[in-house]
Amino acid sequence: MEPPPGLADQLGCDPGDRHVLAAAIAAKAEVIALDLAPGAIHGCLETIAARQRNPARTAQALLQILSRQAPTFASRCMEFQIDTN
């Protein structure tokens, strides 16, 4: 995602993080995952799954969906053997 020109320069955060925040704003992201520890990822997947209502989804189902859109991320989650049941 390419943020609009100049957006990163207007952000008051660390200069090394501005491009990440600008891209998240441009993409209308709800979450920016910076802590990639297996436990943190599992917690995020569980939280997202708990919010799914129509249709209801499990963390495992989310990983299956993510494997099509973000195969490396989903593969790494499975590699860490995160219990998603």
Quick one: tokens of 43?
């917690």
Distance CA 27, CA 3 (A): 8
Tokens 């129509």 -> residue: 54
Q: Reply yes or no on whether the pLDDT at 83 is more than 60.
A: no
Interval 22-32: pLDDT, tens? 888 888 887 77
Q: What is the pLDDT of residue 84?
A: 46
Q: Are residues 27 and 43 in the same domain?
A: no
Query: What is the domain count for the chain?
Result: 2
Q: Are residues 49 and 73 in the same domain?
A: yes
Q: What is the pLDDT of residue 37?
A: 76
Structural domain of residue 69, as residue ranges?
38-79
pTM: 0.51
Q: Are residues 50 and 21 in the same domain?
A: no
Q: Are residues 72 and 47 in the same domain?
A: yes
Q: Are residues 24 and 47 in the same domain?
A: no
62, 47 Cβ separation under 8 angstroms: no
For range 50-59, the mean pLDDT: 85
Q: How far is CA 11 from CA 7, 19, 29, 55, in A?
A: 7, 9, 16, 37
Q: Are residues 42 and 27 in the same domain?
A: no
